[in-house]
């Protein structure tokens, strides 16, 4: 009888060991959940405001229009058009993100009447004077990172996963790693810390005012605001969304290079 109980206990312990995930496996599992929950939005249109705040709290407002098209078996396509003020009116940024390859990005500058391709060396540069880089606004696909689950935390909205992610192609990224706080309710980040290639914290982003959108019977959460803070320069930038619609069927020609002009 004792031998039977001992064998049963050993089998139970061995079963738990077999199915226990490593931090890397758990991190990847969470990332896959995020991708699955946030897919299926079809297309998105919104009015946007970008607020630039310098170290002395002086603010500059810029109004924009944004469109995103979900692409099957590849990264999404997006275009941002600046509407105000006049010094940036008509400026457009087009992004074709990809799952594994480098994203394609172009910037149209109306003052020069030309389209400028954003090179891989420029992806770490500031987007239009903001604390967001072109890399931040590019594709964030599952395949471009490796992951590590650090811990779980509790918040007022429930369980939060804390996960590190590392760019697969480190030579093409401005970051060594990012640490993400991911509420299980949203399956999307509520906070991200960005560490430069030396491992120094350079920026933090708070993802705020989450709202739920229903597309084909599926709930998808999106933040209404992203507040990026540069901890070294003390500069800040805020992206906020208004009149956002998901489930929009957008034509491919809205995201062509010709559409920039």
Per residue in 192-247, pLDDT (tens digit) is 999 999 999 999 999 999 999 999 999 999 999 999 999 999 999 999 999 999 99
For residue 90, what pLDDT is reported? 95
Q: Which CATH architecture has domain 22-260?
A: Clam (2.50)
Task: Identify the pLDDT of residue 9.
Answer: 53
Whether residue 14 is predicted with pLDDT greater than 90 in this model: the reply is no
pLDDT for the residue 171: 87
Mean pLDDT in residue range 117-143: 92
Give the pLDDT confidence score for residue 17 in this predicted structure. 42
Contacts of 119 (CB under 8 A, 6+ apart): none
Query: What pLDDT is attached to residue 19?
Result: 65
Phi-psi group of 147: left, alpha or beta (phi > 0 → left; psi -120 to 50 → alpha; rest → beta): beta
Question: The pTM is what?
Answer: 0.89
Q: What is the mean pLDDT of residues 245-253?
A: 95
- Nearest alpha-carbon partner for 31 in 131, 125, 163, 194: 163
Residues 163-194 pLDDT 10s: 999 999 988 899 999 999 999 999 999 999 99
Residue ranges with strand state E in the chain:
43-53, 59-69, 77-84, 92-96, 104-109, 114-117, 145-155, 158-167, 175-183, 191-196, 201-208, 211-215, 218-222, 225-230, 236-246
Task: Write the CB contacts of 64 (distance below 8 Å, at least 6 apart in sequence).
Answer: 47, 48, 49, 50, 80, 81, 82, 83
pLDDT, residue 261, reads: 79
* Mean of per-residue pLDDT scores for the chain: 92
DSSP state of 186: T
C-alpha span between 135 and 170 (Å, rounded):
12
Give residue-wise pLDDT tens across range 18-62.
469 999 999 999 999 999 999 999 999 999 999 999 999 999 999
Percent of the chain scored above 90 by pLDDT? Answer: 82
CA-based torsion, 91, 173, 204, 219: positive or negative: positive
- Give pLDDT tens digits for 133-160: 999 999 899 999 999 999 999 999 999 9
- What is the length of the chain? 261
Residue 258 is predicted with a pLDDT of 87
């Amino acid at each position: 009888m004792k031998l039977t109980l001992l064998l049963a206990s050993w089998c139970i312990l061995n079963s738990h060991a077999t199915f226990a995930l490593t931090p890397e496996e758990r991190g990847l599992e969470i990332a896959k959940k995020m991708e699955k929950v946030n897919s299926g939005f079809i297309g998105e249109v919104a009015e946007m405001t970008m607020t630039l705040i310098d170290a002395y709290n002086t603010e500059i407002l810029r109004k924009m229009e944004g469109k995103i098209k979900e692409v099957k078996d590849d990264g999404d396509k997006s275009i941002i058009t600046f509407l105000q003020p006049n010094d940036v009116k008509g400026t457009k940024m087009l992004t074709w993100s990809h799952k594994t390859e480098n994203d394609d990005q172009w910037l149209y500058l109306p003052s020069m009447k030309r389209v400028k391709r954003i090179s891989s060396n420029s992806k770490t540069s500031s987007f239009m004077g903001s604390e967001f880089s072109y890399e931040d606004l590019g594709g964030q696909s599952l395949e471009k990172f490796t992951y590590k689950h650090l811990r779980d935390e509790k918040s007022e909205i429930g369980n939060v996963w804390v996960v590190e992610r590392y760019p697969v192609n480190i030579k093409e990224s401005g970051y060594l790693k990012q640490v993400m706080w991911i509420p299980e309710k949203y399956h999307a980040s509520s906070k991200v810390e960005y560490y430069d290639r030396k491992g120094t914290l350079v920026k933090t982003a708070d993802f705020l005012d989450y709202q739920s959108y229903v597309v084909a019977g599926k709930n998808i959460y999106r933040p209404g605001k992203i507040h990026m803070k540069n901890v070294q320069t003390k500069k800040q930038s805020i992206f906020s969304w208004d009149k956002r619609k998901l489930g929009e069927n957008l034509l491919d020609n809205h995201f062509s290079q010709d559409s920039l002009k």
